[in-house]
Structures are given as C-alpha cells and as structure tokens.
Chain A
Amino acid sequence: MLRTKLIDKLSTNTDLIGIYDSRCLRMRFNKNRCSKCIDCCPTSAIRIEGGLDINKETCTECMLCVAECPSGGLEINSFNFYSIISKLRKSSGGTEGGLPPVLACNMQEDIKAHVNTFCMGYLSEEHLIALLIFLDTPLQFNLTGCKTCKNSFIVDVLKKRLESVETKIFSTQAKACDYTLHPTRYTLNNIMLIEDKSDLQYQAIPYDRRGFFGALKKLTMEGAASFLGSAADQKQMQAYGDKVLPFKRRLLNKALSIMIESNTKDNKTSVSQRGTTGNENVIPTQVGIQRKEELDSPIESGNDMVGGLSNKILANYYFDLVVDDNCDMCFACIGMCPTGALKSNEHESINEEHTPLSKGGMLFNASFCNGCGLCSDFCMQSSISIKHGFSGNPFKEKCVKKVNNA
C-alpha cells in the first residue's frame, strides 16, 4: 500500500490549490452568480463556466482566491494551519522578554522567518483573528521581499484585511477597555506588517543538540503524516452531497469557542496561566464539540472584554437565519446548503443517541453557516432570509421551523 501511495504521490504533480467543484456555489446552484474568486484574481487565471478551473500558467499562487471563496471551493492542498500556529507559539521563546515570532512566505530564498508558509494572500480575516486569539505574543509578518515579488499587491490586501478586522472587532470602545489578562493581546498592533528590513526584529532560535534532534524528529513525523494522509482526504470530498465547512470558518469557530471557554471558566484559572502551564503547544481541537452542551447560557457573563469581543465576532462574521410562515417544509434548502448548517430532524428517531426537539422540523447551526445565501436564493417559497450577525450561542442548534404534529 505504501509503495503504491509513494508512486502516486511522486508521479502526480499535486497542485498547490485544491479545486473542489462540489463546494463551489455556482456548481451547486446554476442560478448563483458568485464571482468572488474571479473578481479578486489579479491575473484572471480562474474560470468558472463549465467547471471550476485554474490556469496554472498564469496563476501566480498569491492565494487570494483561497481567502475569498466563501464555501471552500478552493483550498490549499494538504496544508495544516494549526501546525503554523503551534510553530509560532514555540518560536516566541516562551518567555516574556522574547522577540515576537516572524511569519513569512516561501516565495523568495533569503527571507528571515521562524515559519515560512505560502504567499500570505490566503490569510483571510478569519485567519488573522485566529492568529490574534491563539498567539499570546505579538507577531511580525516579514513582508520585506514583497516589493520585488510578482505578488506585491499582497501587502495592500493584508493591510485592508487588518483594517477591516479592526473596524469590525476592535472598535474604539473595546480598545479603551482595560483587559488585565493580556494587555496587548487583542490589539491590532499585535500583528505587525514589516515592510522595511531595518524594522524587523528577528532572533534565530538557538538549537542545542537535543533541540536539533527533537525538531528533526517532529518534522519527519509531520511530513510522514501529511504525506500519507493527503491522498485519501482529497478523494472523500468530491461528492456533492457531502457537507464540508470551509477551513477559515472552522478556524474561527475554534478561536471563538476558546474565547467562550476561557470566559465561562472559573476566574481562578486565567487564560495566561493556562497558556504557560503544561501543554502550551497543543491547541485544543475538541473544544467546540465537547463544550457544546455547557454553552447553553448566553456569552455575556464573566469577563466583559472577552464577552464583548466574542459578541463582536458573532455580530460581524456569523449569520442568522429566519424562516417565515410561507415555508411548505420541502426542506430543499437542507440539500442545497454546502456546509451542513441546516439539518432536518425528521428521522432523528432512528438514531438512538439523539432525542429530537420535535418530531420533524429544521435545525440551524450558526457556527456552520458561511452566509452564502444559497438556501434563500433556492427556496421556492422565498421564505428564508439570512441576516448578518448572530446573538446567542452559535454552537447550539436552534429550531427554525417546527412541524405541527396534528
């Protein structure tokens, strides 16, 4: 098995950007006119008519389309953003006085950085928020090579995205609040875009022998894991019936659930203490799922600052769905939804783990909704409307349509 996989991997030159027709809004619904990827592409390398495709000759791999696509139709192949976060956390030195870690692209050879990644156009607003929340320290983006790069427009795009994050999440009132646990953690200044080499504060991590071999072992294991895992992953995603949440939304969900968790937690264990004790490099992966039941209460309680922030994220990046009385319960929207935010509990009684809210009806999970609007466009009764902003607990399914069991 390993041998065939090796041959597969080496013989097929895998592309950097994975194309998933089944998640593309235009492929799912022929009346949809989403053109975000085409609009943002600087070289017009993307084609949608007759199947999503990227012209590899003109594509400069700036990854803007990956950040723009609302449904994850374009995603980076076998790429683990969490490993980048954990590497950055490690690079911060663990001490208070350490210099902030540096993130850079791998488009040019001589760029100093702790972590090299693809061209940073894929860092959407959701990615930036996640970086701000997951990292305890400030972070430097090394953009010193961008001037001479073919993707030089990335700097402006990143600036715009950071500004947008600031206006949406960190309004002036939120900044004025005194947040004692992490005085600078949630400020925009935590992400520094370094365009001039003299501004860069870079300190290579000194490796002793133990550290060197430890790092080598980790790299090898990570490489092997991604090597063996990726081929199988790609095949699973091709059916149109499969619901897939785009990565940037999963990332934001995780960041949000961590904020809510730290907020609802007892004040005795503060965020900073948890950050420095024990497994600081492990990013909790199951938080959102495990704590679903405990998060029934609204998010207001506990720390006002965190509560305010998470509410702002909810208000700006999440969506609410309303179904009016015209709904004839055809539930075609459930099939149309690309992410699985809508669910029918018509047949839940078959599955014994579930206790249905009512015998039939439609459930909406806001943490899965990317606001693409396919459901409301497709609805034959025009009874679905999507609102920007959500209040309450996004991880809890709410019943948006009940069936009368007469």
Chain B
Amino acid sequence: MSQNMMKIDLSKCVGCGTCAIACKIGNNTPQRLGGQTFNRADFITETTGYFPNTKWIALPVLCNHCDDPACVAACPVAPIADANCVGGKRKAMYKLTAANGGLVLHDDARCIGCRACQRQCPYSTANTEASKANYSVISYHSVEPFGYLTSNSQAITDCTASEAEVRDAVGMTDLAPAYRNKWTYTDICGVIQNDVRRKSIVDKCHLCVHRLNDTTLDVSERKPYCVLACPAGVREIVTSVPAGAKVLASKSYTNLRKVVLIDPPASGSSRPNVYYVGSFSNR
C-alpha cells in the first residue's frame, strides 16, 4: 500500500452535494451547530465577476491527510510507541506511514478535546461563524452528538408533550437518528473507529478507513462513501500525484472564505494530499 491521495476533477463537479450527504449518513456526523460544520466531506461554491461575465465554481473540501500534518504536531497528548505511525509515535491525532496508507487518523478515546489540532490545521478554524469561514475540515463536538429530542420544554405547558416525553413514549433509548449507520472498525494501530462520536472530542475525515481496508467488501466497493456516491465520478482515490494537479491554499491566504487553488508547494506547507484537476465553466 502507498500513500492514499484523492483526485478531484473539477471539470465534472456541478456542486450537487451528494458527497456531503453520503458522508453525513455514512459517518453519522451531526448537524451544523455553533460554528462547527461536522462536514467531513464539505463543498463550497463561489460566484465571481459581473454579469454577463460571471464565473461559478463548486469545490469539494475534505481533510487533506497531509504529509506533514500540522494537527499531529499540535496534539499535546503524550505519544505511544507505534511502528505503524510516522516517527514511530502515536498521539491522539496520528499519521500512518505511507506503507500503511498514510492517512491522518484520530483516536477518539485518547482525545482530550483541547482543539489544538483545529487551530493549527491550515484548513480549519475553531469557529466558522466567528471567523466567517466557509468550511473547516476539523470540527469539535461541544454537545452530545445527536442530542436532539432531549428537550423538556413544552410548547403549551401541561398540554403538549415535550420532545423527551415523545422519545420515551415511542421507546427510543438511543439518541442517534433512525438512519444511524452502525459500524465499528479497529485500525492497524488498534484504535477503534466508531460510528457515533461522544462529546468534547474533535471530528475529522478518516477517508472511510473502515471501508478502504474492509476485505469483506467487493474491490469496487472499497472506497469512501463520498467517492461511491458521486454521480459524476469527480472523486477518485489515487496513489500518485496527478499531472497538473493543484492544491487548496491554506487559511493564511484565504481565511477559508475564498476558493484559491495553488500549485503544490515544495516546502513551507503541510503538503496536502487532496489534488484538484481541471476547472469548471458554465459558459
């Protein structure tokens, strides 16, 4: 196995958002809340220019699984010796060696929820509302995920039922929604990747590692949900850098508000592994 990369062909993408919905259902991520996007597969759209010379682009955004990840460097948790990780050390945020797929993964059990990774990540911000950002690839669970249907307030006091009463009445013990996709996967480091994440930890794309390495699935199915769901075949898992590929500019250029694609920088960056090729034009 070698470093997993994602190739996104912008000439095919129309911004339908199927990838985002597939990811949300597949990975049980909650709704947007308090400046947290919880979109492991997000997409932004941008309209520029003046009529009639306008230009519109859609840009899928996800964790770049960088070669030199700032989030891993920022994680304050004491490292555990692990030969499967880069540098032989595994923190709560860790990068697998290229021989193991090279993904940047997150250990929910060891995460202390300090959000240092979120601040240091070139493509994330602690609060998208406060910084007026369009996306953030790392999100933080400040409340219990799927904590809805827990309110005790009644619309008309002593007349209508509260959400919690309704939940009890139908015998719903699990706070997860009905479309919850249940899975548990233990990765090569022995870290359990799970379906619903608990409160006060961060949440990021794991490139559906539980599907990539699932030998029970057909080979054509061993792909992330976003790749499988895309109706136009925009996304593709590749193992070498595509010709003419560009990468997303970090937040120091864009404040995560604009779409800026740059040539892959040789140094001075975290060296992202999501590559964009082509361009879309509606004219």
Contacts and interface: CB of A to CB of B under 8 A. Distances in A.
Contacts of A81: none
A352 interface: yes
Interface stretch (A5-13, A236-244, A250-258): A236-244
Interface in A35-56: 50-51
B114 A378 contact: yes
B198 interface: yes
Interface in B103-136: 108-116, 119, 126
B115 A330 contact: yes
Interface string A331-354: 111111000000010110010100
B153 A352 contact: yes
B87 to A, nearest CB: 13
Contacts of B198: 239, 241
A350 B34 CA distance: 10
User: Which secondary structure dominates where chain A touches chain B?
Assistant: loop
A87 to B, nearest CB: 37
A166 B151 CA distance: 50
Contacts of A335: 112-115, 200
A351 to B, nearest CB: 8
A344 B109 CA distance: 21
Contacts of B77: 27-30, 240
Contacts of A114: none
B192 to A, nearest CB: 11
A51 B112 CA distance: 16
Contacts of A402: none
Interface string A213-242: 000000000000000000000000011110
Contact of A332 (B80, B115, B152, B199): B115
Nearest to A349: B34
A387 interface: no
Interface in A105-145: none
Contact of A240 (B111, B142, B152): B111
B113 A334 contact: yes
B1 interface: no
Interface string A93-112: 00000000000000000000
A347 B199 CA distance: 12
A28 B76 contact: yes
Contacts of A30: 76-79, 91
A378 B81 contact: no
Given A330-B115, A352-B153, A240 B92 contact: yes
B142 A330 contact: no
Interface string A169-202: 0000000000000000000000000000000000
Contact of B142 (A51, A238, A344): A344
A350 B143 contact: yes
Among A27, A330, A335, A344, chain B packs the most CB atoms within 10 A around the CB of: A335
Contacts of A312: none
B109 A346 contact: no
A31 interface: yes
Nearest to A25: B78
A331 B119 CA distance: 11
Contacts of A346: 34, 142
A249 interface: no
A241 B199 contact: yes
Nearest to A338: B112
A352 B112 contact: no
Contact of A347 (B34, B80, B153, B201): B34
Contacts of A29: 76-78
Given A241-B200, A332-B116, A352-B151, A347 B78 contact: no
A26 interface: yes
Given A28-B77, A336-B114, A347-B143, A352 B152 contact: yes
Given A28-B76, A50-B80, A335-B114, A241 B201 contact: yes
A142 B194 CA distance: 52
A239 B119 contact: no
B37 to A, nearest CB: 15
Contacts of B81: 50
Contacts of B91: 30
A350 to B, nearest CB: 6
Given A330-B115, A331-B115, A378 B76 contact: yes
B33 to A, nearest CB: 8
Contacts of B201: 241
Given A238-B109, A334-B113, A378-B76, 20 more contacts: A26-B78, A28-B76, A28-B77, A29-B77, A29-B78, A30-B79, A31-B76, A51-B80, A239-B108, A240-B77, A241-B112, A330-B115, A330-B119, A335-B113, A336-B114, A346-B142, A352-B151, A352-B152, A378-B114, A380-B116
25 contacts: A27-B78, A29-B77, A30-B78, A31-B76, A50-B80, A50-B81, A239-B109, A240-B92, A240-B109, A241-B111, A241-B112, A241-B198, A330-B115, A332-B116, A332-B119, A335-B113, A335-B200, A344-B142, A346-B142, A347-B33, A347-B34, A347-B142, A352-B151, A380-B116, A380-B119
